Amino acid sequence: MKLAIVLGTRPEIIKLSPIIRYCANNQLDYFIIHTNQHYSDNMDKIFFEELGLADPQYNLGIGSGEHGAQTGKMLMAIEKILLEIKPDLVLVQGDTNTVLAGALAAAKLQIKVGHVEAGLRSYDRTMPEEINRIIVDHIADWLFCPTDKQAKILLSEGIAKEKVFITGNTIVDAALHNIKNINQELLLKHNLKEKQYILLTMHRPSNVDDKNVLAKQLNNISRLAKDRGLEVVFPLHPRTLKNIQTFELSLPGNIKIIDPLGFIDLITLENFAKIILTDSGGIQEEGCILGVPTLNLRDNTERPECVEVGASKIVGSDFDKLSRGFDFYNQEPNFKWQNPFGDGQSAAKIMKICQNDFKL
């Protein structure tokens, strides 16, 4: 079995790192195609270095762009490599344009496709990610679901049962593997005290591409922090930074801006935060695994397990919901939940399914 792993963004590097590590440790024949959808060092290269992963064999240098142009460039470049190397299987993870391009290129060349983190649905088709994940799920040969909830969704959409596997989520593997490396000295660097700050991440188009929505979110969060006597630390995503500058918005003084972080630094700040405010699905999962509550700055989620176990609440851009969500967790500081995303062995389960099919 010759395996191609296609990735392009920070979450994909993190969530595929356990699979890459499994392949390396078991001397499997694999190679990595990196579209460079995230292309700055602090959004990309640092993750390979700190996760101990070999550099990708192929860097496509696609970068950002309109959906059609970006996906088209990826599709052409990936297809060329697949025609040359002829892998037996292509693995993709998640819901980005990289995932769509990798899966389409492989499927049209009659190469088997495995979709890691399959079956997620927000039921919001204004999100480009929703379109991507639906298409990829319906052309993939193997669908690796985090929980039985996604498996049921896929079966309800008419996908054959023999294609669907419940494996847990590889983010658990990644978090458990790297939690031993977190460093509390990072708090000193940023003048933060354990459980005395709010961690904020925000990058979704629905939050940052509209001036009024972005200003409202920042003001809501600043007001919440001021009322509760807390500071906000905000690793600033390049998209959000660009729009803050374009809209000429002034950031509230109690929101501390820092550069984007590597995975270990980010889970360090997640682990010691009082609460996490985010529009990232992956960070909702990370908070759930680490036992730190999250408030979801969207009106929906494709990670309903986080809400169902009590680890997260959906608050959108409504200040009253934001305030009530914060107060719930503040009044219940010892509130605990069960991680619903698996036991940290997802990568091994996924790869054993693949190897079994190829009789390895």
| 103-139: pLDDT as tens digits | 999 999 999 999 999 999 999 999 999 999 999 999 9
Lowest mean pLDDT among 42-56, 66-80, 269-283, 344-358: 42-56
pTM of the model: 0.92
Q: What is the pLDDT of residue 183?
A: 87
Predicted pLDDT of residue 357: 83
Which of 227, 340, 220 shows the shortest CA–CA distance to 287? 340
177 is catalytic: no
Amino acid at 154: L
- What confidence score (pLDDT) does residue 111 get? 98
In order of their start, the domains of the chain are 2-169+342-357 (3.40.50.2000), 180-331 (3.40.50.2000)
pLDDT greater than 80 at residue 316: yes
How confident is the model at residue 85, as a pLDDT? 97
Alpha-helix residue ranges (DSSP H) falling in 109-210? 128-139, 148-156, 170-178, 185-189, 205-208
pLDDT in tens, 161-201: 999 999 999 999 999 999 999 988 999 999 999 999 999 99
Res 359 pLDDT > 80? no
At residue 43, the pLDDT reads 57
pLDDT for res 47: 83
CA distances from 258 to 57, 131, 215, 312 (A): 31, 32, 18, 24
pLDDT interval class at 65 (50, 70, 90): confident
Closest by CA to 299, choosing from 201, 207, 236, is: 207
- 8 Å CB contact between 298 and 314: yes
Q: What is the mean pLDDT of residues 223-250?
A: 95
Given the residues 34, 38, 115, 203, select the one marked as catalytic.
Answer: 203
Beta bridge pairs of residue 5: 32, 91
